[in-house]
Chain A
Amino acid sequence: MGADQHNQGDRLAANTKHYRVRERLEDITTSLSSRFYPDIWGCDARMVTSDIEHTPPLNRRDIATYPFNDRLYLQKGLFVKVVRANNETFLVARTKYDISEEDFGPTLYSRPLVIFDSPHESLEKGLWLYGKNLLPLIAEDNVTVTLLAASRFKIDALLCDNISLGGILREQNRYFSNDSIIQISLIDANFDAQLFSETTRHFPRAHITPILALPEAGAVGCLCTQSTIENRVFHSTKDVYATISPQNTLVVTRLSLLPTPLYGYDTEIRVQRRDHICSCASEISFSLRS
């Protein structure tokens, strides 16, 4: 593929994303269901321009403190999660449609174990896997029961967060072989180099895919396939339009209409813009700051 074609692809993808960002803004500004954004922005939503960089930022506290029912732009078939983050506990609604738009990594496996510190996250990823015609084994509260079930299922992949992966590394040996795992999708808001190397050592056949994600925002960043683990350049996921705030935090807009849409959401994940040349056609490249 030539450089021109690359650029053309990049522009097309970026244009598509821009178009969908404008669609989301229109949804927000014309909705009669909720006044969440006008209230957060403190102005008439119709006055907000489509220039997302100049939109008043939305943050986790805005979501956590705004009444749940009043921030719902959709009401049908909601799967409601309990999210615990930074001493805040709040509800987040998802639909099967927006979950299906998620990108929780490649699915070249057949028998995934989904294990997150919060079962709500496991259930959400479970729904995503059903959409891919895969049967997910959802972790139970009891680790021994989970690992026993995993050994009976003969798992070949893990979808997990840092905490649960750490737990598996400590306990798994008694239940299934290290070589049976071919894919680990590590879905979290930060990645620890030591955990990575420990995981690589422990599961030598596994392809480890870090997915940058937050419970309230879903998957927001994925590792560039042409990046090295050491280099670790991320792009926004396909359903996310991302920018970087003046404070160097990742700001995301979900392109699917979520029950509480995310428009210009400051993830508070500290990032650094990267000038990275690849064929991924993403609007942004960044790396995580420690």
Chain B
Amino acid sequence: MKTIHKTHYLTKEDLQQGLHGIERYRAHTQGPPLFFRMTSGTSRGVMTMLVVGHPDKKQYEHYENLFDGPLVIVHPKHCTVMQWIHHFVEHTEGESRIMFLDRKTRESHALSHIFETFGPRNIYGFPALLDALLNQLTRAHVQLGAGIRKIHLTGERISKALLKKFESWAPQSSIAVVYATAEARVIATPCPHLEKRYPDLRFQIFHPVDSTCIEIVTPDEHGMGEIAVSTPELPHYLTGDAGTLTEELCSCGARFTLCVHGRINFDVISCVGALFLLSEVELVFSLLGMYVSDYYVEVKEVYDTRKTYGTVTFYIVPTDALRALKDGDTFVLTYIARHLQVTKTRTLEDLIAADIFLHPEVAFVFSLPISGKKVRMKKIEV
């Protein structure tokens, strides 16, 4: 529990013990169904778990058009899949079907046969798992993407490269990202008008759903702060995501716009006044494509006797072109520092010159010091 401006906020840590929401459960008593939600804590290492009620109609409206054709679910958490299947069988009157692609099926030789036989038209999934699925299908020479009409993604940030991959695999499909967390369910949904108005912020910009109350906690001068939500189960819950909430009337009638910048300390790192946005880091590294095949960035604050400095270490898997350069490390560091925007007006190079950041370090590695879910950037607490 965190108290900010006299308001008590629940945090992920509060859901890492006990079972929040279970007090509403009455076995053998008819009533609205309850569901488990959990995260295995890829970002913070400890599992969170809670019991939630059925989302209201509004929350599912956005999803229900997925039920109009064969729907495949590609999700790591079976408790979430249970909720989807329950919702599907309870609310689908028409000719449709739902299938979960579990890990064993995704990794089996029968995958292409199963996928072809089921004939999905819509997919709901987790970007990294869908990515792995596409790799499997491509290896098996299964070209079923043309039949896909809707892809709904959730759970993690989707990179531009991945988006391009999904779009080229399923060119007829519309791809939507819903802002949701396992704990607070659907928080905000995309809007075509918004995406048209802010094309650069596609998949980051949403309208909050009516049933969820959103606030931005401790916003900075640009209005960016931690997103807190209030749902029937979680009053004042800190999501761990950074975002801005603005009031502007949209053509669709919505009054508020939520822009999500990513996970605090992962997609958005605040360090001695500078803000490392993953989108900016990705942009710079995309320009270094011919020299860098993979990378990972660590940011930390170090305390000197009188002052706190920021430091950055870039772990880079170099390409042959970079290895062939005489001062490859200096070249890469100079390029990144010169181009990486860390405040609205200043680059990393500017902050080094202003003695706010120490000189960054670079380490050329064969493989990255991270595994599992792709983490590009991390703040190291010293």
The answer to whether B28 and A138 have CB atoms under 8 Å apart is: no
B306 contacts A by Cβ under 8 Å: no
Q: Does A75 contact B (CB under 8 A)?
A: yes
Q: Which residues of B contact A163 (CB under 8 A)?
A: none
A69 touches B100 (CB 8 A): no
Cβ contact within 8 Å between B49 and A77 = no
Supposing A77-B93, A82-B105 touch, asked if A126 and B88 sit within 8 A by C-beta, the answer is: no
| A 54-98 contacts with B by CB, 8 A | 67-69, 75-82, 84, 89-91, 93, 95-96
A78/B19 contact (C-beta < 8 A), A133-B27, A145-B47 known: no
**A127 on the interface (CB 8 Å rule)?**
yes
Q: Are B79 and A80 in contact (CB under 8 A)?
A: no
Question: Which residue on chain A has the smallest CB distance to residue B110?
Answer: A89
**Number of inter-chain CB pairs below 8 Å:** 132
Please tell me if A122 contacts chain B, counting CB pairs below 8 Å: yes
Question: How far does the alpha carbon of A164 sit from the alpha carbon of B215 in the complex, in Å?
Answer: 44
Give Cα distance in the complex from A67 to B119, angstroms: 12
Q: Report which residue of A110, A122, A139, A140 has the largest number of chain B beta carbons within 10 angstroms of its beta carbon.
A: A140
- Interface residue ranges of A213-257 to B (CB < 8 Å): none
Among A75, A78, A89, A149, which residue has its beta carbon within 8 angstroms of that of B98?
A78
B104 at interface, CB cutoff 8 A? yes
* With A76-B96, A79-B88, A120-B102 as contacts: A91 and B114 at CB distance below 8 Å: yes
Whether the pair B77, A140 counts as a contact (CB closer than 8 A) is: yes
The reply on A289 being an interface residue by CB < 8 A is: no
Contacts of B118 in A (CB 8 A): 68, 80, 91
Contact yes or no, B89 A95, CB < 8 A: yes
Does the CB pair A142–B78 fall under 8 Å?
Answer: no
A210 at the interface (CB under 8 A from B): no
Please state if A126 and B82 are interface contacts (CB–CB under 8 Å). yes
Q: Is B40 an interface residue (CB 8 A)?
A: yes
Report if A148 contacts B (CB, 8 A): yes
Interface of chain A, main secondary structure: mixed
User: Within the assembled complex, what's the spacing in Å between the Cα atoms of A68 and B25?
Assistant: 39
Contact of A141 among B51, B90, B103 (CB under 8 A): B103
> Which residues of B from 60 to 78 have beta carbons under 8 Å from A?
76-78
Decide: A119 near B36, CB < 8 A? Known: A82-B114, A127-B86, A138-B78.
no
Check B30–A133 contact: CB distance below 8 A. Answer: yes
What per-residue 1/0 map shows which CB atoms of B108-139 lie under 8 Å from chain A?
10100110011100000000000000000000
Q: Which residues of B contact A111 (CB under 8 A)?
A: 27
Q: Is B29's CB under 8 angstroms from A133's CB?
A: yes
The size of the chain B interface, using a CB distance under 8 A, is 51
Q: Which residues of chain A are within 8 angstroms of B94 by Cβ–Cβ distance?
A: 76-77
* Residues of B with C-beta under 8 A to A186: none
Q: Among B28, B79, B98, B99, which residue has its beta carbon within 8 angstroms of that of A133? A: B28
Specify which chain A residues have a CB less than 8 angstroms from the CB of B103 in the assembled complex: 141
In whole angstroms, what is the CA distance A139 to B51 when docked? 15
Main SS class of interface, B:
mixed
Instruction: Let me know if B82 and A136 touch, CB within 8 A.
Output: yes
Q: Does A130 lie within 8 Å of B79, measured CB to CB?
A: no
Instruction: For residue B150, give the distance in angstroms from its CB to the closest CB of chain A.
Output: 18
Most chain A CB neighbours (cut-off 10 Å) among B82, B92, B98, B99 = B82
Query: Across the interface, do B33 and A130 meet the contact criterion of CB distance under 8 Å?
Result: yes
Query: B79, A69: Cβ atoms under 8 Å?
Result: no
Residues from chain A with Cβ under 8 Å of B93 in the complex: 76-77
**Contacts A118-B104, A127-B89 given: A148-B114 contact, CB under 8 Å?**
no
Is B38's CB within 8 Å of the partner chain A?
A: yes
User: What separation, in Å, do the CA atoms of A91 and B19 have in the docked complex?
Assistant: 35
Q: Nearest chain A CB to B37's CB is how many angstroms away?
A: 11
Whose C-beta in chain B lies nearest to the C-beta of A80? B99
Q: Is the CB of B38 within 8 A of A123?
A: no
Asked whether A141 lies within 8 Å of B29 as measured between CB atoms, the reply is no
Pairwise interchain contact B38-A93, C-beta atoms closer than 8 A:
no
Neighbouring B residues of A89 by C-beta, 8 Å: 105, 108, 110, 113-114
- The distance in angstroms between the C-alpha atoms of A89 and B77, with both chains bound, is 23
Q: How far is the CB of B64 from chain A (nearest CB, A)?
A: 13
A126 shortest CB reach to chain B, Å: 5
- The complex places the Cα of A155 from the Cα of B373 at a distance, in Å, of 30
Binary contact readout A35-68 vs B (1 if CB under 8 angstroms, 0 otherwise): 0000000000000000000000000000000011
Establish whether residues A142 and B40, one from each chain, have CB atoms under 8 Å apart when the complex forms. yes
Contact status A82-B49, CB under 8 Å: no
Which residues on the A side are within 8 Å of B352 (C-beta)?
none
A60 CB, nearest partner CB in chain B, Å = 15
Cβ of A135: which chain B residues have Cβ within 8 Å of it? 25, 27, 33-36, 51
Chain B CB within 8 A of A137 CB: yes
The answer on a CB contact under 8 Å between A139 and B82 is no
- Once bound together, how far apart are the Cα atoms of A132 and B31, in whole Å? 11
A142 contact set on B, CB distance < 8 A: 40
Query: Looking at A78, A91, A142, which has the most chain B CB atoms within 10 Å of its CB?
Result: A78
A146 to B108, CA, bound (A): 23
Whether, in the assembled complex, A19 has its beta carbon less than 8 Å from a beta carbon of chain B, the answer is no
Given A91-B117, A126-B86; 6 other pairs, CB 8 A cutoff? A77-B92, A77-B96, A82-B105, A110-B27, A149-B47, A153-B22
Q: List 27 A-B contacts (CB under 8 A).
A: A68-B118, A77-B96, A78-B98, A79-B98, A80-B97, A82-B101, A82-B114, A84-B108, A84-B110, A89-B108, A89-B114, A91-B99, A107-B28, A110-B27, A122-B78, A123-B81, A126-B85, A126-B86, A135-B36, A138-B36, A138-B78, A138-B81, A138-B82, A139-B78, A149-B36, A152-B19, A153-B36
Q: Which residues of A contact B (CB under 8 A)?
A: 67-69, 75-82, 84, 89-91, 93, 95-96, 107, 109-111, 118-120, 122-123, 126-127, 130, 132-142, 145, 148-149, 152-153
